[in-house]
Structure 1
Amino acid sequence: MTEKSGLEAVAEAAKQAPGRGLPPVHLWNPAHCGDIDILIRADGVWMHEGSPIGREALVRLFSTVLRKDPDGYHLVTPVEKMRIEVEDLPFRAVSMQRDGDDLVFTTDLGDQVRAGADDPIVVETDAATGEPAPRVHVRRDLWARIVRPVFYDLVEMAEEVDGRLVVRSGGQAFDLGALS
Structure 2
Amino acid sequence: MLQPATADDRMVATLVTRALAVLDHDPDGARRCLDRLASLFIDRRDEPAAVAAPPPSRGGLTSWQLRRVTGHIEANIARPLRVETLAALVGLSSGHFTAAFKASTGETPHSYVIGRRVHLAQRLMLETDEPLCQIACACGFADQAHLTRLFGARVGQTPLRWRKAGRRLRNTETP
TM-score (norm 2): 0.33
Higher RCO structure (Cα 8 Å, ≥6 apart): 1
* Structure ranking higher in strand proportion: 1
* Structure ranking higher in helix proportion: 2
